[in-house]
Structure 1
């Protein structure tokens, strides 16, 4: 009887289910103890009468099995390629064998006759694709090697399909799941857990005498975890009053005890903390992100899994939550009812569920290709003390964050670049195009899906060196905010408007600028305007008539070529309009702007013009509301760059031109606008627009409930400065010849 139970148990796990999701799966420790008859902490071949199973779990080949070894082997088998990952290759083989293309394989079409009866599970003399897939999966789980079919197509490991990203995927909010399909209602194994203080307790001991237990995942360096910290502290206090306990779990092996303690103390959390370095609890619960929470009742039944609430997600923040999933689940637990929502996804930093189970081999190595991809595309931001939430400077960094890298690359969010790709075979128009090259994307995803070989260190590139503070070098002058701005811990903040009076006795020509926050983690974007001495500062419309300088993360500076410059009038006032985004901790910020002066008067003066549509009337519930604006070009101009600006309902943006002869062309198409990345699009070669041309901007707004960043889908939205209002501005940066002290416009 023991043998049958264990074989069934292992078969379920080996076919891709984790312990928690296995039908009738019992506690791993109790299973282990049942076979460890002499209680020496190991299972030998004599004790395990299902001897054929032992070699598959005995990772070190010493003829015996420890609990830790069994857990690791089960995690590896649980993370084996899923049906969806292997089905494309299986389909190719099936179609190759199906010679007459009737959708089934007959005995005459099968080259290896003995295998036909093994795959024809219903015995009707033919095999469907679904029938073959299920049979092959079961045979693989039992340790069978499936022979290759000569001549059949194969899917090389390096050919990882690239996911095409839809516009709605730029933001990710919690999605409701069917609880029974993700483990809700199942028994949670009674694992032994060690906290940061070294104390060991079984899960049942954590539950003893309580009404239930919240297992809250977090990442000490994950931005969304940071934003949720204050809410976890409130839930901890509220739950404690109802005899519901909390356990905090950090699943990131590379985060230090100091990192974890800093996170916990900064949010005044007092619950036990588990650093799940080996991933046993994470594999058992099948946790997917650093923000996922699990609610377990006193009988160790999982009653809820998913997001804390919907206030924060990938690519958006709300002033307050509209869905309080975890709090509602706790209330249902206390009332001994089923929660209305039993499971959701939990947007956060993705966990690397395959790190212990390589799924393919690849010729791509870290030192040869991946390190160079990181250098060219990532570590400008993702390095120590920079704006990225984690570093990607080393092999260990990349391995530690492999799950999030894979997710963001597949979603098309990283590296951040949202202009439509040029037609096949044509070069990009943009000098700052940071999109991932197709070959690099394929290599990176293939490597992440493989055993992630490090390769030969002799192939490694030279290490890049970055300036410690000013990326453009020490500036000639610095303009700093007159005071520090208080940033609250949660929600959203209204735009801040601060001014600085300068004392330059004469006009200065600025060839480059850099905006440097003192706390980059809370600065979303900055619009800088320059006002002549004595001018009234009446325009606070976020650059509706143009801007002088701008900042977004990863795009904090600009340096024009020799001979080009912007004018800074003598005695001018500089205004800063700043959008701050709380990150979970109350703090202060006082940014500054460094200026690099041109050595001589310029040949060309750089200006920024704005095509603005301020007559906005976006209906409630409308998911594709289109607005346009056409503006004449009053003089010849050479366009250097574009910037599109909308708020959180912005969905797409396009610049077009109709030239004097009637010829129309698209200048810039942004089919997936992202409020979090208001990028410059710099031409490799300036574009000439003659006088009499007409520039048209088209914006698409999503004011529906399907937009997770939407503050209120029931309201009609108009023009306004704050994030809950909307804007529609198309900026054109251009130059004109400089004549003496006057720039021709």
Structure 2
């Protein structure tokens, strides 16, 4: 009796509609969460061509059924309350996409639902796609199903592009009048446009699927170039390593990857590639470029097994790179006035150029992109809102007026990150008639070139709900002793108003060794939100949070930097120098940039 009562209570909670004021403090509720590492759920991998027979008796397979079209696989359970609630929604989505050539497949892994019940459900909701009684659980288990409301989206090459919730209208212990986030529809729109979905995985509230006691294991495709390695290259390497990309060589074909297998393995083993430096214990980030342990093992196993090419029919669709501006045709473009000559060799200090904009009123920027003429020689570009120095003005006076970019920057570029697109309802203000100061850092690569960098803007039609700000925890009081191998410097800032943090961007120079962002909440508890144990000056990464952090007034942000001024640092220009604050790379900086909006 106790077990039956518990089951009834659970099912009652799943099916309940929360009435305002009726659920007490601590009542359990579960909504979809985007704080999910998609790489741990096989997103981006090839789905095997699994055979199945529908309840109508049609014997086929995933590839033959989809016929090269995107495929939505929806998990079903006749008895689950949330699965029932999402039946009409799935039918609506399927019908709405009827002219967009997207196929639907309904998979029921229940051990107790009968075929008659499945037929009745299919008819009641009006599902048009095939319905499968996945008794053995082969399809659901291979896809990684753990809830009865999971959906999986495959593109035309059977790459898993999204997994998780349909939307967020229904959850455990609540329901809304309408969904706020239509995860599945947005993912389908992205795939139809040959783009990667912004959200690639979520949790999906629903009845848990328990695989214990069921003799079924996920089907694993053989590791070949076409089935596995090509997808890893696309997702982690080709944004730079492609024809006409900023990297020195392309990794777009079997022959190219096989020929570079030694360099690939070395770069992964040393942590040089892919360039990602957030350590364990950090928050999750949308632009995480690191390899999962599963991807790393697959790459090494492929190399050890002789670099098998595999079946070309398993290959992913080639990535389509945007020609011209990635943000689309800009509403306005600002170009530095003077070309910069970059020599074939040697080191270059920072170059600065100023441009006055001519906008008669404030403009709201929802997307921007920095485009050098020769990105292969650009280490980074930062753009600040700052006037040129006045005649006779000293450096100290300039810094007093403009802070020298220490409190924030307007836009930035690093290799692989040239565009900035703000979340819906958010934009950054460009004041009327503002001056833009370009800080340009070049790294000669063996060929002399002439660069003329531009920045393009996409304007919002109206003022946004939220204004994006850039600020920093920083200090100019640097005094790094000669030979110091682990010199620590701290800087803090306290939020006087409630805010929502969207990203972090630490900045040091060549003696930078490690960096950490830590939040201390008003109750005195603290959390390390970004830990960089191996800071690399060559990659000035902007870490964009998967879930922005809401901070109440009184929250303190502490940034800690460590510097290596010893002769054990190969990048150190002079281990015998006492190093102080300065803008050139042989000086040092300590800036913990972050982007936020006010939570009002």
TM-score band (shorter)?
0.5 to 0.7
**Partner deviation per Cα, 1:275-331 (whole Å, 9 max, x = no partner):** xxxxxxxxxxxxxxxxxxxxxxxxxxxxxxxxxxxxxxxxxxxxxxxxxxxxxxxxx
1:533–1:572 Cα contact (<8 Å) kept: no
2:324 to 469, 494, 507: 469
- Structure number, greater radius of gyration: 1
1:493 to 315, 329, 348: 348
Superposed, 1:58-73 pairs within 5 Å as: none
Instruction: Kindly tell me the number of residue pairs found equivalent between the two proteins.
Output: 373
1:442 to 284, 297, 304: 297
* Match in the other structure for 1:620: 482
Structure 2 length as normaliser, TM-score?
0.60
1:593 and 1:485, CA in 2 relative to 1: closer, same or farther beyond 3 A? same
For residues 632 and 429 of structure 1, the distance between their equivalents in structure 2, rounded to whole angstroms, comes to: 23
Shift of residue 475 of structure 1? 1.2
**Partner deviation per Cα, 1:208-263 (whole Å, 9 max, x = no partner):** xxxxxxxxxxxxxxxxxxxxxxxxxxxxxxxxxxxxxxxxxxxxxxxxxxxxxxxx
* Match in the other structure for 1:418: 277
For residues 389 and 597 of structure 2, the distance between their equivalents in structure 1, rounded to whole angstroms, comes to: 26
* Match in the other structure for 1:692: 554
Structure 2 residue 411 is matched with structure 1 residue 549: yes
1:532–1:569 Cα contact (<8 Å) kept: no
1:654–1:697 Cα contact (<8 Å) kept: yes
**Partner deviation per Cα, 1:366-413 (whole Å, 9 max, x = no partner):** 000001111111111111111111111111111122121111111122
Superposed, 1:672-683 pairs within 5 Å as: 672-683=534-545
* Match in the other structure for 1:701: 563
* Match in the other structure for 2:501: 639
Superposed, 1:37-48 pairs within 5 Å as: none
**Partner deviation per Cα, 1:17-56 (whole Å, 9 max, x = no partner):** xxxxxxxxxxxxxxxxxxxxxxxxxxxxxxxxxxxxxxxx
1:630–1:697 Cα contact (<8 Å) kept: yes
For residues 657 and 375 of structure 1, the distance between their equivalents in structure 2, rounded to whole angstroms, comes to: 35
SS of match in other structure, 2:480: coil
Shift of residue 634 of structure 1? 2.0
1:508–1:570 Cα contact (<8 Å) kept: yes
Structure 1 residue ranges without an equivalent (≥5): 1-361, 738-743
For residues 492 and 597 of structure 2, the distance between their equivalents in structure 1, rounded to whole angstroms, comes to: 21
Shift of residue 629 of structure 1? 1.6
* Match in the other structure for 1:484: 339
* Match in the other structure for 2:237: 378
Shift of residue 422 of structure 1? 4.0
1:652–1:670 Cα contact (<8 Å) kept: yes
2:354–2:387 Cα contact (<8 Å) kept: no
**Partner deviation per Cα, 1:115-172 (whole Å, 9 max, x = no partner):** xxxxxxxxxxxxxxxxxxxxxxxxxxxxxxxxxxxxxxxxxxxxxxxxxxxxxxxxxx
* Match in the other structure for 1:574: 436
* Match in the other structure for 1:56: none
* Match in the other structure for 2:33: none
1:620–1:715 Cα contact (<8 Å) kept: yes
SS of match in other structure, 2:302: helix
Shift of residue 630 of structure 1? 2.2
Shift of residue 681 of structure 1? 1.0
1:533–1:571 Cα contact (<8 Å) kept: no
Superposed, 1:501-516 pairs within 5 Å as: 501-516=356-371
* Match in the other structure for 2:226: 367
Shift of residue 528 of structure 1? 0.7
SS of match in other structure, 2:376: helix
* Match in the other structure for 1:530: 385
* Match in the other structure for 1:389: 248
For residues 541 and 520 of structure 1, the distance between their equivalents in structure 2, rounded to whole angstroms, comes to: 28
For residues 561 and 543 of structure 2, the distance between their equivalents in structure 1, rounded to whole angstroms, comes to: 17
Aligned CA-pair RMSD: 2.0
2:480–2:487 Cα contact (<8 Å) kept: yes
For residues 729 and 455 of structure 1, the distance between their equivalents in structure 2, rounded to whole angstroms, comes to: 48
Of 715-724 and 398-407, the range deviating more from structure 2: 398-407
For residues 499 and 550 of structure 1, the distance between their equivalents in structure 2, rounded to whole angstroms, comes to: 15
For residues 489 and 549 of structure 2, the distance between their equivalents in structure 1, rounded to whole angstroms, comes to: 25
Shift of residue 654 of structure 1? 0.4
For residues 543 and 421 of structure 1, the distance between their equivalents in structure 2, rounded to whole angstroms, comes to: 30
For residues 404 and 379 of structure 2, the distance between their equivalents in structure 1, rounded to whole angstroms, comes to: 14
1:533 and 1:673, CA in 2 relative to 1: closer, same or farther beyond 3 A? closer
For residues 538 and 388 of structure 2, the distance between their equivalents in structure 1, rounded to whole angstroms, comes to: 33
Q: What stretches of structure 1 move > 3 A for 4+ residues in a row?
A: 531-537, 539-542
SS of match in other structure, 2:513: strand
1:651 and 1:709, CA in 2 relative to 1: closer, same or farther beyond 3 A? same
1:657–1:667 Cα contact (<8 Å) kept: yes
* Match in the other structure for 1:398: 257
For residues 402 and 525 of structure 1, the distance between their equivalents in structure 2, rounded to whole angstroms, comes to: 29
SS of match in other structure, 2:469: strand
Structure 2 residue 509 is matched with structure 1 residue 650: no
**Partner deviation per Cα, 1:613-654 (whole Å, 9 max, x = no partner):** 110110111111111122222222110000000000000000
SS of match in other structure, 2:455: strand
2:572 to 705, 710, 734: 710
Structure 1 length as normaliser, TM-score?
0.49
* Match in the other structure for 1:71: none
**Partner deviation per Cα, 1:317-359 (whole Å, 9 max, x = no partner):** xxxxxxxxxxxxxxxxxxxxxxxxxxxxxxxxxxxxxxxxxxx
For residues 598 and 364 of structure 2, the distance between their equivalents in structure 1, rounded to whole angstroms, comes to: 14
For residues 585 and 404 of structure 1, the distance between their equivalents in structure 2, rounded to whole angstroms, comes to: 23
For residues 311 and 255 of structure 2, the distance between their equivalents in structure 1, rounded to whole angstroms, comes to: 15
Shift of residue 519 of structure 1? 0.6
Shift of residue 542 of structure 1? 5.4
SS of match in other structure, 1:538: helix
Shift of residue 541 of structure 1? 6.3
Shift of residue 684 of structure 1? 1.3
* Match in the other structure for 1:596: 458
2:507–2:590 Cα contact (<8 Å) kept: yes
Structure 2 residue 575 is matched with structure 1 residue 734: no
2:504–2:594 Cα contact (<8 Å) kept: yes
For residues 444 and 421 of structure 1, the distance between their equivalents in structure 2, rounded to whole angstroms, comes to: 22
* Match in the other structure for 1:35: none
* Match in the other structure for 1:280: none
For residues 321 and 295 of structure 2, the distance between their equivalents in structure 1, rounded to whole angstroms, comes to: 23
